[in-house]
Chains A and B, each alone.
Chain A
Amino acid sequence: MSAALLLRLTVEDFLYREAALLDDWKLKDWLALFSPNARYEVAPTGDPEAGTLSSAESLFLVADDRERLEQRVIRLQKPQAHAEYPHSRVRHIYSNVRILRDTEAQIEVNSNFVTFRTKRGITATYMGWHRYLLSRHSDSFLIDLKRTVLDLDGLVPQGKVSLLL
């Protein structure tokens, strides 16, 4: 097996593990996959250049540094996070995983995704792509960046991004 193929499979394995933690709402374990300076972002919908925008200059849906991401995880585990109480059922499907760049320091990865969320008899579908920056950590990875770009003009009919995509 080529080194490139092995890397992709190893990365896929890591991403599938990440998706499974989200599906199971094991958010503390999910948070542990992120590095101390990590960012988690969801770009604005309806902008054809959403994939290249910066959250410092544009209004994103989510632009968490590590501290706000921790606060997000804490909040989502409270009954007072009403939109997610009781937790919706979510299913994260990742596909088309590609290694875009592989340096000593970081691996840049793209993945298409579809995430289904069901609550009170209504299923919402979120689709788009994730960009990951991964750094090597012991025999696995840590996420330095997870940036999500939705293929949506707006959150119609989804209404909100109360879940983690």
Chain B
Amino acid sequence: MAAIVQTPLSSRSRYLWVDRERGRFLVHRSAYTSPEIFEEERRRILHRSWIVLAHESEVPNKGDFVVRQVVDRELIFNRDVDGKVNAFFNSCRHRGAAICREPRGNRTRFVCPYHGWAYKSSGELFNQHSTFGYGERFNEGGFYDLTRVARLDKRGGFYFVNFDPNAISLDDYLQDAGPMLDAIADQSGVGMEVVRGCHEYEIKANYKLICENSYDGYHLDITHSSFVDYMRTMVRGIPVSEMNIRGVAKSLGNGHACFELEIPTGRPVAQWLPVWGEEARLEIEAKKKELESRLGKAKADRISVTNRNMVIFPNSIINDQQTVLLRTVTPTAHNRMIIRAWSIGPKDEGPVLRRIRNEGALSFLGPGGFATPDDVEMLELCQRGFENAEVEWNDISKGFRPEENTLRDYDEHYDNELQMRAYWFRWNEIMSAPESRG
């Protein structure tokens, strides 16, 4: 192989080509197209990272459960009859059948439809539907209780799981993404809740493309110019002088990153738009006062005007804009993923603001809206373009400075590409490390 001229900090691996002298940061496209690399990612990253599972409001009562995909696993997330929150693999300990067939509901017990093994909501096996054939000590020590996911923890109302029993704590993992989740919880004094209705859609593209897309400020003007046209009609009544977008990009540690925007396009918590009308104005003013009295003026101001798109490495996406949108990303192959998205708002939100929240969420961030279908299109066009394997490298150099400290840096331009570099820097670290075989 020909030698590559490098500054001391430049490097080139199988996946990442960092040329600080020339201001280039490149990702090898095999990272999006190779089934083998996808298998390796599953093993090294997806099965060993903290991944968002659900919001605490989804299981408010004893017995409540939801069934969720996380990577290639199907989990039962429930609140048992003692009030404890659990995450179990949805598989009978007997012969493996999925014991829970409804996507959500309330159950104090789960009974396998195959042979009738019955489990309490705490996961404890209590009946095998047979009076003979099993010794008294058969389930000694809870041997046949439902298998729990190795790690389950929450931050700011969001529950995360990790399949690796030796993983670092959630708080250590999240680093500066943790306080961002706390700030979402701060939007309500009585708690946040998931709004009924899920946006579920498949994108025929590698899952990392939606992560990149979610905090990519650079594509907004081009991909979403028709949405911007629509927004212009929605923000009528706001002076053009106030329409400047101010924003920054931040890498938050561990591959997590976000951009933050101040843009007067309206937030139910708590920035009013004239087209929303007087009733909404009164509710939003009341909400703003409530934030100020609870959190102080500075924090209240910040919550009211800041839109934020964040990716928690490797595949948990939280957009805080017209609503708080939780997007889970389930990669089903190297070139396919399923997105499931939920809208989250204050439990005590009135009907006017709730309607505004729902309409804002579906018109921009939903698969029937004015923007997301075009993102889906772009991601599928990328995956299609990658088939031209002779074109080997993707560029994410915008804003790359020789001295950039990618995992912990700040860029005063939200529409540079620091966010994605933070992701790939971390991704490359894990994928290029010598693999321990234990």
Contact = CB atoms under 8 A, between A and B. Distances in A.
B201 A154 contact: yes
B338 interface: yes
Highest count of chain B CB atoms <10 Å: which of A56, A158, A159:
A159
B200 A155 contact: yes
B73 interface: no
A125 B33 CA distance: 27
Interface string B2-44: 0000000000000000000000000000000000000000000
Contacts of A80: 225-226, 229
Interface stretch (B77-85, B166-174, B190-198, B243-251): B190-198
Contacts of A44: 196-199
Given A58-B195, A63-B358, A156-B338, A71 B370 contact: yes
Interface string A40-56: 00101111000001011
Interface in B73-129: 103
A83 interface: yes
Interface in B120-164: none
Contacts of B367: 61, 155, 159-161
Highest count of chain A CB atoms <10 Å: which of B223, B338, B368, B378:
B368
Interface string A132-165: 0000000000000000000001111111111000
A17 interface: no
A78 B367 CA distance: 18
A99 interface: no
Nearest to B205: A159
B233 A71 contact: yes
Contact of A78 (B103, B226, B338, B359): B226
Nearest to A85: B377
Interface residues of A, number: 37
B203 A59 contact: no
Contacts of B202: 154-159
A158 B229 CA distance: 26
Contacts of B368: 42, 60-62, 160-161
Interface of A, secondary structure class, is loop
B378 A75 contact: no
A159 B381 CA distance: 14
A55 B226 CA distance: 24
Interface residues of B, number: 42
A7 interface: no
A40 to B, nearest CB: 10
A55 B358 contact: yes
A59 B195 contact: yes
B374 A83 contact: yes
Contacts of B351: 56-57
B201 A59 contact: no
Contacts of B204: 157, 159
B213 interface: no
Highest count of chain B CB atoms <10 Å: which of A55, A56, A83, A160:
A160
Given A155-B201, A160-B376, A58 B358 contact: yes
Contact of B370 (A55, A63, A75): A75
Contacts of B373: 82-84, 159-162
Nearest to B195: A59
Nearest to B342: A59
A72 interface: yes
B57 to A, nearest CB: 14
A9 interface: no
Nearest to B366: A61
A157 B339 CA distance: 11
Contacts of A59: 195-199, 342-343, 358, 361-362, 366
B196 A62 contact: no
Contact of B223 (A57, A62, A82): A82
A66 to B, nearest CB: 13
B363 interface: yes
A81 interface: yes
Interface string B225-243: 1110110010000000000
B354 A57 contact: yes
B398 interface: no
A152 to B, nearest CB: 9
Nearest to A155: B201
A63 B201 contact: no
B47 interface: no
B226 A75 contact: yes
Interface of A: 42, 44-47, 53, 55-63, 67-68, 71-72, 74-75, 78, 80-84, 153-162
Given A61-B368, A159-B201, 16 more contacts: A42-B368, A44-B198, A47-B197, A56-B358, A59-B362, A60-B197, A63-B362, A71-B233, A72-B370, A78-B226, A78-B229, A81-B374, A82-B223, A159-B203, A159-B373, A160-B373
Identify the 10 closest CB pairs spanning chains A and B, nearest first. A154-B200, A59-B197, A61-B368, A44-B197, A155-B201, A83-B373, A161-B368, A162-B373, A160-B373, A80-B226
13 contacts: A44-B198, A56-B354, A57-B195, A59-B366, A60-B358, A62-B368, A63-B362, A80-B226, A82-B374, A154-B200, A159-B201, A159-B380, A160-B372
